[in-house]
């Protein structure tokens, strides 16, 4: 309460003193960004292999799609109403003044992650024997295998945590119309309005200088109140100056694309990007192409187990051995992304016999990577 009283006292003093500042309104607001954690949890289903389902559990192996997240910026620039008077009244060079209204886009960053989706052509049935000790399987909600005989715990790498912030920021916001003086609003010409606007800027700067040098009468003594007053003066000056220099506003945006690697790709057009239209369709020649290269690094012997062997051994567990691919993304000659990722389509499949689960004294637990269908760990 002491801060507010001191602040209001000083505002009243400024309004009365020599009309140095005609209006000093302020809208005070505190923006608190709470520590919010967003978890992209994998929803799982526990299925027990019991007599009612003939001791069998059906599941899918996943195939890999690459999710490409594109981060870009949209910048809107507006010319100042008094741009041609910026040099005359404020000594601002032409290079520092926005002379035309324009909206333009810039490509900032690209991220790629592997996403597993059910491969409808890779559906299998685990058939346990009746004497197996309490067998159960955890599946994702869309049927991809997570664990056998083990409780499923989300891996940290599968959990996406949002940017965390626990800071409080005080912002000063002004309605531009609220700083305009009666003299300014009644000016009869553009040149006169520019002249009055320039005088107002110098008055604000003089008032700020008086406060900082201690020459201002009844200036707030409290540190927080002083910060509020100075922030308000800065906000007012910004509004007036932008009438001469213009202003820019930039907004960050994101877009996502998915691509399924089936073979090597060379200079495949992912999307097109235009400086003046942003992300456009592949066939829209107003944008320049953004290319993706995907190369199978041949890290896995792709000789798959004989399909006939799978059918002859129904009491087996089929799992993926993913391959590795290099991924590059270019915009013109600029490389936006380069890394390696796992791709199940570039790998193979192998099998484990369900006889592993018949030892009642030491039941086996198997953990899988749900996104790839690869075995993560076998515990006995």
pLDDT tens-digit map of 272-329 = 999 999 999 999 999 999 999 999 999 988 666 655 555 545 557 889 999 999 999 9
Mean pLDDT is lowest, of 135-144, 254-263, 291-300, for 135-144
Which pLDDT score is estimated for 81?
A: 86
- Quote the CA–CA distance of 85 and 195 in Å, as a whole number: 8
Mean pLDDT is lowest, of 1-15, 151-165, 248-262, 320-334, for 1-15
- Quote the CA–CA distance of 184 and 199 in Å, as a whole number: 10
Mean pLDDT is lowest, of 58-67, 205-214, 252-261, 352-361, for 352-361
Which pLDDT score is estimated for 71?
A: 96
Whether the CA torsion 11, 12, 13, 18 is positive or negative: it is positive
**What is the per-residue pLDDT across 202-245, written as a single tens digit (0 to 9) for each?**
988 988 888 888 877 777 777 888 888 889 889 888 988 998 99
- Quote the CA–CA distance of 316 and 356 in Å, as a whole number: 10
Which pLDDT score is estimated for 293?
A: 96
Q: How many CB atoms within 10 Å of residue 162?
A: 11
Q: Which residue intervals of 221-345 are DSSP H helices?
A: 223-245, 307-312
Percent of the chain residues topping a pLDDT of 90: 35
**What is the per-residue pLDDT across 65-115, written as a single tens digit (0 to 9) for each?**
999 999 999 999 999 888 898 999 899 888 899 989 999 999 999 999 999
Q: Model pTM?
A: 0.68
Pairing of strands 365-369, 374-379: antiparallel
Structural contact between residues 206 and 237, judged by C-beta atoms closer than 8 angstroms: no
- Quote the CA–CA distance of 343 and 361 in Å, as a whole number: 37
Q: Which one is predicted more confidently, 132 or 214?
A: 214
Q: Which one is predicted more confidently, 184 or 74?
A: 74
Q: How far is CA 124 from CA 226, 288, 308, 310, in A?
A: 71, 44, 13, 9
Average pLDDT over residues 16-42: 31
Structural contact between residues 318 and 306, judged by C-beta atoms closer than 8 angstroms: no
Structural contact between residues 76 and 356, judged by C-beta atoms closer than 8 angstroms: no
Which pLDDT score is estimated for 132?
A: 52
Comparing CA positions, the residue from 353, 263, 370 lying closest to residue 305 is: 353
Q: Which one is predicted more confidently, 152 or 169?
A: 152
- Quote the CA–CA distance of 51 and 82 in Å, as a whole number: 84
Which pLDDT score is estimated for 315?
A: 56
């Amino acid at each position: 309460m002491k801060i507010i009283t001191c602040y209001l006292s000083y505002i009243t003093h400024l309004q009365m003193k020599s009309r140095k500042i005609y209006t000093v309104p302020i809208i005070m607001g505190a923006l608190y960004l709470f520590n919010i954690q967003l978890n992209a949890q994998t929803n799982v289903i526990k299925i027990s292999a019991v007599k009612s389902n003939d001791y069998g559990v059906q599941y899918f192996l996943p195939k890999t799609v690459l999710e490409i997240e594109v981060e870009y910026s949209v910048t809107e620039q507006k010319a100042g109403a008094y741009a041609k008077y910026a040099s005359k009244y404020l000594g601002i060079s032409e290079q520092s003044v926005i002379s035309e209204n324009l909206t333009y886009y810039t490509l900032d960053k690209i991220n790629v992650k592997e996403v597993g989706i059910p491969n409808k052509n890779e559906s299998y049935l685990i058939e346990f024997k009746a004497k197996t000790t309490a067998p159960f399987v955890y599946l994702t909600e869309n049927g991809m295998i997570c664990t056998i005989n083990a409780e499923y715990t989300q891996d940290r790498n599968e959990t996406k945590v949002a940017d965390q912030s626990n800071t409080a920021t005080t912002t000063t916001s002004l309605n531009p119309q609220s700083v305009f003086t009666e003299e300014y609003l009644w000016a009869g010409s553009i040149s006169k309005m520019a002249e009055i606007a320039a005088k107002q800027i110098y008055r604000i700067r003089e008032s700020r200088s008086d406060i900082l040098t201690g020459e201002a009468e009844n200036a707030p003594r409290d540190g927080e109140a002083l910060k509020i007053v100075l922030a308000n003066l800065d906000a007012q000056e910004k509004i007036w100056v932008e009438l001469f220099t213009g202003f820019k506003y930039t907004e960050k945006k994101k877009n996502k694309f998915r691509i399924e690697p089936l073979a090597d790709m060379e200079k495949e057009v992912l999307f097109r990007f235009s400086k003046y239209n942003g992300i456009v369709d592949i066939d829209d020649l107003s944008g320049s192409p953004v290319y993706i290269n995907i190369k199978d690094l041949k890290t896995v012997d792709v000789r798959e187990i004989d399909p006939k062997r799978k059918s002859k051994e129904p009491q087996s567990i089929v799992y993926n051995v993913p391959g590795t691919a290099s991924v590059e993304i270019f915009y013109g000659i600029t490389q936006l992304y380069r890394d390696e990722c796992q791709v199940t389509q570039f790998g193979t499949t192998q099998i484990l016999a369900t006889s592993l689960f018949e030892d009642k004294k030491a039941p086996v637990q198997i953990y899988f990577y749900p996104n790839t269908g690869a075995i993560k760990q076998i515990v006995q």
